[in-house]
Amino acid sequence: MYKIAICEDQKVWHYQLIKIFEQIHNHENIDLEVDTYLSGEALLNSEFNQYDVLILDIQMDGLDGIEVAKKIRKVNERVQIIFVTALENSWSEGYVVRAYRYIVKPIEVDAFYEMMVQLFDEINQSRRSVLVKEDGGMKKVEIASIKYLAIESRKVVIYTLDGCYKSSISLGEWNDKLQPFGFAHPHTSYLVNLKYVKHLNREKIVLTQGDILYVSQRKYKKFKEQFMNYVDYIK
């Protein structure tokens, strides 16, 4: 089951998007639950953390889609955000909130359909978890919640959105597990989830929640290429 919120102040776009989601449900056998909102304020006053995908119009009366996304990103790093817009000059703003895609109106139905099927597959992959030891037991950690891993005192520490965990598995082994999910090495001591990278230069990485990690000169070029490819891929 995937939960979707459409936030758009013109009902004609609600109807078109809902029709596409009905086609996806019928043809791809994907269970979907779709809610609609006519304003950013209405979405923010809802239980928005329940959604897997937010489809936000950029131009709305009151709070626009960018402002809504910024407020949601302060408390929710997981939700996928798609902007629909008649404009193409706000892409840099969308990068700040890690928008998955920009869709320019009028919506091209086939392209939107294919994009959503791909996104649902990616969400399904991101729901995958790894097991880490905790207090003599095992803890299931969602891969999507892992910000980075670091070697500290000969142990690997896994930093997530919800806390951190120590692991006796080597960073190389973790790399083999996590590289297919968008992780890369900026330094021999770090493995970073590229979706949380906010800023990168030759000396450091700043993550979306403010964590600062160092970059080795030897690994900078390759890490930068991986990051640029990742950013290009999610546009």
For the chain, what percent of residues have pLDDT higher than 90? 62
Amino acid 86: pLDDT: 80
What is the domain range of residue 56?
2-126
pLDDT band (50, 70, 90) for residue 91: low
- Laid out side by side, the sheet with 212-214 consists of 197-200, 204-207, 212-214
Backbone angles phi, psi at 212, to 5 degrees: -120, 125
Average per-residue pLDDT for the chain = 90
If you average pLDDT over residues 221-231, what whole number do you get?
89
121/48 same-domain check: yes
- Name the residue among 58, 59, 6, 62 with its Cα closest to residue 33: 6
69/175 same-domain check: no
Which CATH number covers residue 96?
Answer: 3.40.50.2300
43/142 same-domain check: no
- Name the residue among 66, 72, 55 with its Cα closest to residue 116: 55
If you average pLDDT over residues 10-38, what whole number do you get?
96
Cα–Cα distance, 186 to 224 (Å, whole number): 8
Cα–Cα distance, 186 to 188 (Å, whole number): 7
Amino acid 27: pLDDT: 96
Amino acid 69: pLDDT: 95
Tokens representing 73 are 């990103």
Q: What angle do CA 52, 182, 233 make, to 5 degrees?
A: 75
Cα–Cα distance, 9 to 60 (Å, whole number): 6
111/154 same-domain check: no
Kindly give the pairing relationship between strand 129-134 and strand 155-160: unpaired
CB-based contact 147:207 (threshold 8 Å): yes
73/162 same-domain check: no
**Model pTM greater than 0.75?**
no
CA dist 79 to 68, 74, 76, 158, 217, Å?
13, 11, 6, 21, 33
CB within 8 Å of 161: residues ≥ 6 apart:
77, 78, 145, 147, 209
8/122 same-domain check: yes
- Across the chain, which distance is largest between two alpha carbons, in Å? 58
Cα–Cα distance, 78 to 213 (Å, whole number): 21
Give the end of a domain, one of 75, 95, 126: 126
140/187 same-domain check: yes
- What does the pLDDT look like over 124-158, one tens digit per residue? 887 888 888 766 778 889 898 899 999 998 889 99
If you average pLDDT over residues 13-22, what whole number do you get?
96
Which tops the pLDDT comparison, 208 or 21?
21
CB-based contact 141:158 (threshold 8 Å): yes
pLDDT band (50, 70, 90) for residue 100: confident
